[in-house]
């Protein structure tokens, strides 16, 4: 597919997951045979009889032999319980030095048969104060179908994200839509629109002096990793995952 404004690096090759990047994650989770539970908003981590007691907003506390944290680094520092005192001062300073950009994403969904007449599947915008990226998502994923209407994804600039981080989402949505109309006036009216705030979008500064992960406690093992410890691209995620897996394996 034609991606307008893409900065191509020599020797690199870009891929698209037709069913979304989450399908790659779900594939590996299925391969693992693990039981996966979603929508557990973790709030507390504490030591209990040589195990980790993990509490979430909903449900009872649960005990684990090993805990791996891969949420954005600022959210690790917001956790309550024994973890507050387990993270030593040097580690805390390292974790606090990580920084992220913030942005909004807008999804526009169209009726079956709607036509979006642009010569690209996705486009990087360099001269707009609000919008940085537009994707005709079904084109980009190469999954155009007569049974499913097209969809468009819009990402805002980092500056716009910072300026409107605490603004009313309905107002932000209208602002983005008005800029989008100016950039792509031929867009038909969407059947539905979803606006998503992405407070921790991409890592602008990773946690320093760590090889893709950080051990917070050895016995039982409490370890953190993710793109906040490398960089915000697929390679960065894989690099951290490999480092986490090797460290966990050596502790089992």
pLDDT for 144-203, tens place per residue?
Answer: 888 889 999 999 999 999 999 999 999 999 999 999 999 999 999 999 999 999 999 999
For residue 30, pLDDT beyond 90: yes
Long-range own/partner contacts, residues 112-117 (CB < 8 A, 24 or more apart): 112/146, 112/147, 112/148, 112/149, 113/149, 114/149, 114/150, 114/188, 115/188, 116/150, 116/152, 116/186, 116/187, 116/188, 117/186
Mean pLDDT, to the nearest integer, of 76-90?
97
For residue 12, pLDDT beyond 90: no
Mean pLDDT, to the nearest integer, of 193-216?
95
β-sheet bridge partners, residue 152: 108, 136
pLDDT recorded at residue 18: 93
Tokens found for residue 125: 């915008």
The CA distance from 152 to 114, in Å, is 12
Confidence class of residue 238 from pLDDT cuts 50, 70 and 90?
Answer: very high
Mean pLDDT, to the nearest integer, of 60-82?
97
Which of 146, 140, 154, 142 lies closest to 115, judged by CA?
146
Confidence class of residue 206 from pLDDT cuts 50, 70 and 90?
Answer: very high
pLDDT recorded at residue 13: 84
| CB-based contact 147:230 (threshold 8 Å) | no
pLDDT recorded at residue 33: 93
Give the pTM.
Answer: 0.88
pLDDT recorded at residue 239: 97
pLDDT recorded at residue 99: 96
The CA distance from 135 to 123, in Å, is 6
Average pLDDT, the chain: 95
Residue corresponding to tokens 């506390």 = 61
For residue 93, pLDDT beyond 90: yes
The mean-pLDDT minimum among 10-14, 58-62, 116-120, 156-160 falls in 10-14
The CA distance from 121 to 159, in Å, is 25
DSSP of 60-108:
--EEESEEEE-S-HHHHHT-BSTHHHHS-HHHHHHHHT-EE--EEEEEE
Mean pLDDT, to the nearest integer, of 65-86?
97
């Amino acid at each position: 597919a034609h991606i307008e404004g893409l900065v191509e690096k020599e020797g690199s090759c870009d891929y698209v997951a037709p069913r979304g990047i989450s399908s790659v994650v779900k594939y590996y989770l299925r391969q693992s045979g693990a039981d996966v539970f979603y929508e557990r908003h973790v709030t507390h981590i504490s030591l209990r009889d040589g195990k980790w007691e993990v509490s979430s907003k909903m449900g009872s506390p649960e005990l684990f032999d090993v805990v791996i944290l891969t949420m954005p680094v600022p959210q690790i520092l917001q956790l309550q319980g024994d973890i507050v005192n387990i993270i030593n001062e040097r580690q805390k300073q390292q974790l606090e030095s990580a920084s992220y950009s913030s942005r909004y994403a807008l999804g526009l969904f169209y009726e079956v048969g709607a036509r979006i007449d642009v010569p690209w599947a996705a486009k990087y915008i360099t001269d707009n104060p609000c919008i940085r990226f537009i994707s005709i998502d079904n084109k980009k994923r190469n999954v155009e179908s007569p049974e499913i209407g097209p969809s468009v994804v819009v990402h805002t600039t980092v500056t716009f994200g910072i300026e409107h981080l605490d603004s009313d989402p309905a107002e932000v949505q209208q602002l983005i839509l008005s800029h989008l109309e100016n950039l792509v006036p031929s867009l038909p009216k969407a059947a539905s629109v979803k606006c998503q705030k992405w407070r921790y979008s991409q890592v602008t500064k990773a946690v320093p002096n760590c090889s893709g992960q950080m051990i917070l406690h050895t016995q039982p093992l409490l370890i953190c990793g993710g793109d906040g410890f490398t960089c915000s691209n697929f390679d960065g995620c894989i690099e951290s995952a490999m480092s986490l897996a090797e460290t966990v394996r050596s502790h089992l």
